[in-house]
Structure 1
Amino acid sequence: MRAAIYARYSTDLQSDASIEDQRRLCLRLIRGNGWTEAQTYADRGLSGSSHLRPAYQRLLEDAGRNRFDVVVAEGLDRISRDQEHIASFFKQMRFQDIPIVTIAEGEISELHIGLKGTMSSLFLKDLAQKTHRGLEGRVRKGKSAGGVTFGYDVVREFLPGGEMTTGERVINEGQAAIVRRIFQEFSEGHSPRAIAGRLNDDGIVGPRGASWGASTIYGNWRRGTGILNNELYIGRLVWNRQRFIKAPATGKRQARMNDPEAWVIEDVPELRIVSDDLWTKVKVRQEAARSDVIRDGLARPERAHRPKHLFSGLLVCGCCGGGYTIVGKAHYGCANARNKGTCNNRLTIRRDALETRVLSGLKDQLLHPDLIAEFVSAYQAEYNRLASEATRDKAKSEEELAKIVRKIDSIVEAITEGMFHPSMKAKMDELERSKTTLELELAHVRSNPPVLLHPGLSDLYREKVADLTAALNEPSTKTAASTHIRSLLSEVRLIPNGSGLMIELVGELAGLLALGQEKTASEAVASGRSVTLVAGVGFEPTTFRL
Structure 2
Amino acid sequence: MTFKASSPVRAAVYARYSSDLQRDASIEDQLRVCRKLCADNGWLVTETFQDRASSGSFDLRPGFQGLRQAAMRGGFDVVVAEALDRFSRDQEHIAGFHKQMSFQGIRIVTKTEGEINEMHVGLGGTMAALYIKHLAQKTHRGLEGRVRDGKSAGGIGYGYKVNRQALPEGSATAGDRVIHEAEAAIVRRIFRDYAAGKSARTIAVALNAAGIPSPASGRSSGTWSASTIGGNWKRGTGILNNELYVGKLVWNRLHYRKDPTTGKRVSRLNPPEDWVVEEVPHLGIVDHALWEKVKARQEATREEIFESRAENPDAPGIERGHRPRYLLSDLVRCGCCGGGYSMISKSRLGCSTARNKGTCGYRRTILREEVEERVLSGLRERLMRPDLLRRFIEEFQREVQRGRQEALAERADLERRHVRVKKAIDSIITAITEGMYSPSMKEKMDALEAERAEIEAALARTEEPSPVAMHPGIAAVCEKKVAALSTALNADDTRVEAAMILRGLIEKVVIHPGPETQGIDLYGELGAILALCADREATHADARLGGGRSRQVTMVAGAGFEPAAFRL
- TM class by shorter chain equals 0.5 to 0.7
Q: 1:287 aligns with which of 274, 294, 299?
A: 299
CA drift of 1:161 comes to: 3.5
User: Which one-letter code corresponds to 2:242 in the other structure?
Assistant: N
Equivalences for residues 291-330 of structure 1 within 5 A: 291-295=303-307, 302=315, 304=317
Note if contact 2:309-2:315 (Cα within 8 Å) is conserved in structure 1: no
User: Which one-letter code corresponds to 1:275 in the other structure?
Assistant: D
**C-alpha distance in 2, partners of 1:178/1:253?**
31
User: Which one-letter code corresponds to 1:241 in the other structure?
Assistant: R
- What is the DSSP-based 3-state SS (H/G/I as helix, E as strand, rest coil) of the residue aligned with 2:16? strand
Note if contact 1:294-1:300 (Cα within 8 Å) is conserved in structure 2: no
Equivalences for residues 517-528 of structure 1 within 5 A: none
Matched, 1:236 2:244: no
Q: 2:229 aligns with which of 217, 222, 229?
A: 217
- What is the DSSP-based 3-state SS (H/G/I as helix, E as strand, rest coil) of the residue aligned with 1:150? coil
Number of the residue aligned with 1:525: none
**C-alpha distance in 1, partners of 2:235/2:112?**
44
**C-alpha distance in 1, partners of 2:207/2:180?**
17
Kindly provide the CA deviation profile for residues 15-64 of structure 1, in whole angstroms up to 9, marking residues without a partner as x: 22211111111111111111111111101111000011111111111111
Number of the residue aligned with 2:351: none
| CA shift in 2, pair 1:253/1:301, >3 Å | farther
Tell me the matched-pair count.
Answer: 308
Number of the residue aligned with 1:154: 162
Number of the residue aligned with 2:273: 261
**C-alpha distance in 2, partners of 1:170/1:114?**
49
**C-alpha distance in 1, partners of 2:315/2:159?**
34
Note if contact 1:236-1:266 (Cα within 8 Å) is conserved in structure 2: yes
Matched, 1:103 2:116: no
Equivalences for residues 395-474 of structure 1 within 5 A: none
Kindly provide the CA deviation profile for residues 212-235 of structure 1, in whole angstroms up to 9, marking residues without a partner as x: 121111111111011000000000
CA drift of 1:124 comes to: 0.7
- What is the DSSP-based 3-state SS (H/G/I as helix, E as strand, rest coil) of the residue aligned with 1:208? coil
Number of the residue aligned with 1:123: 131
Matched, 1:204 2:217: no
Matched, 1:90 2:103: no
Note if contact 2:148-2:278 (Cα within 8 Å) is conserved in structure 1: yes
| CA shift in 2, pair 1:12/1:196, >3 Å | farther
Matched, 1:59 2:67: yes
**C-alpha distance in 2, partners of 1:181/1:143?**
26
Matched, 1:137 2:145: yes
Number of the residue aligned with 1:36: 44
Number of the residue aligned with 2:429: none
User: Which one-letter code corresponds to 2:289 in the other structure?
Assistant: D
Matched, 1:80 2:92: no
Number of the residue aligned with 2:192: 184
**C-alpha distance in 2, partners of 1:13/1:95?**
33
Kindly provide the CA deviation profile for residues 397-432 of structure 1, in whole angstroms up to 9, marking residues without a partner as x: xxxxxxxxxxxxxxxxxxxxxxxxxxxxxxxxxxxx
Note if contact 2:15-2:50 (Cα within 8 Å) is conserved in structure 1: yes
**C-alpha distance in 2, partners of 1:2/1:154?**
50
Which consecutive unaligned segments of at least 5 residues does structure 1 have? 306-324, 327-546
**C-alpha distance in 1, partners of 2:235/2:281?**
22
CA drift of 1:158 comes to: 1.3
CA drift of 1:12 comes to: 7.1
Note if contact 1:292-1:303 (Cα within 8 Å) is conserved in structure 2: no
CA drift of 1:207 comes to: 1.0
| CA shift in 2, pair 1:13/1:217, >3 Å | farther
User: Which one-letter code corresponds to 2:251 in the other structure?
Assistant: W
Matched, 1:275 2:283: no
**C-alpha distance in 2, partners of 1:215/1:300?**
23
**C-alpha distance in 1, partners of 2:267/2:53?**
23
Number of the residue aligned with 2:18: 10
**C-alpha distance in 1, partners of 2:55/2:117?**
23
Number of the residue aligned with 1:533: none
Kindly provide the CA deviation profile for residues 525-545 of structure 1, in whole angstroms up to 9, marking residues without a partner as x: xxxxxxxxxxxxxxxxxxxxx
Q: 2:180 aligns with which of 172, 178, 192?
A: 172
Kindly provide the CA deviation profile for residues 187-214 of structure 1, in whole angstroms up to 9, marking residues without a partner as x: 1221212211111111111111732121
**C-alpha distance in 2, partners of 1:7/1:102?**
11
User: Which one-letter code corresponds to 1:119 in the other structure?
Assistant: M
Kindly provide the CA deviation profile for residues 85-116 of structure 1, in whole angstroms up to 9, marking residues without a partner as x: 10111111111111100000000011101111
- What is the DSSP-based 3-state SS (H/G/I as helix, E as strand, rest coil) of the residue aligned with 2:57? coil
Note if contact 1:293-1:303 (Cα within 8 Å) is conserved in structure 2: no
- What is the DSSP-based 3-state SS (H/G/I as helix, E as strand, rest coil) of the residue aligned with 1:41? strand
User: Which one-letter code corresponds to 1:196 in the other structure?
Assistant: A
| CA shift in 2, pair 1:213/1:89, >3 Å | same
Number of the residue aligned with 2:324: none
**RMSD, aligned α-carbons:** 2.1
Note if contact 1:244-1:255 (Cα within 8 Å) is conserved in structure 2: yes
Tell me the TM-score normalised to structure 1 length: 0.54
**C-alpha distance in 2, partners of 1:173/1:136?**
27
User: Which one-letter code corresponds to 1:302 in the other structure?
Assistant: A
CA drift of 1:275 comes to: 1.3
CA drift of 1:133 comes to: 0.6
CA drift of 1:303 comes to: 5.9
CA drift of 1:304 comes to: 4.0
**C-alpha distance in 1, partners of 2:35/2:29?**
10
CA drift of 1:296 comes to: 9.6
- What is the DSSP-based 3-state SS (H/G/I as helix, E as strand, rest coil) of the residue aligned with 1:207? coil
User: Which one-letter code corresponds to 1:212 in the other structure?
Assistant: W
CA drift of 1:13 comes to: 5.5
Q: Percent identity?
A: 59
**C-alpha distance in 2, partners of 1:297/1:214?**
21
CA drift of 1:153 comes to: 1.2
Note if contact 1:289-1:304 (Cα within 8 Å) is conserved in structure 2: no
Kindly provide the CA deviation profile for residues 151-209 of structure 1, in whole angstroms up to 9, marking residues without a partner as x: 11110001234331111111111111100100111112212122111111111111117
Note if contact 1:234-1:269 (Cα within 8 Å) is conserved in structure 2: yes
Number of the residue aligned with 2:262: 250
**C-alpha distance in 2, partners of 1:303/1:183?**
27
| CA shift in 2, pair 1:235/1:301, >3 Å | farther
User: Which one-letter code corresponds to 1:180 in the other structure?
Assistant: R
Tell me the TM-score normalised to structure 2 length: 0.52
CA drift of 1:293 comes to: 2.1
Note if contact 1:82-1:117 (Cα within 8 Å) is conserved in structure 2: yes
- What is the DSSP-based 3-state SS (H/G/I as helix, E as strand, rest coil) of the residue aligned with 1:72? strand
- What is the DSSP-based 3-state SS (H/G/I as helix, E as strand, rest coil) of the residue aligned with 2:47? strand
Range moving further from structure 2, 233-242 or 189-198: 189-198
CA drift of 1:301 comes to: 7.9
**C-alpha distance in 2, partners of 1:162/1:111?**
47
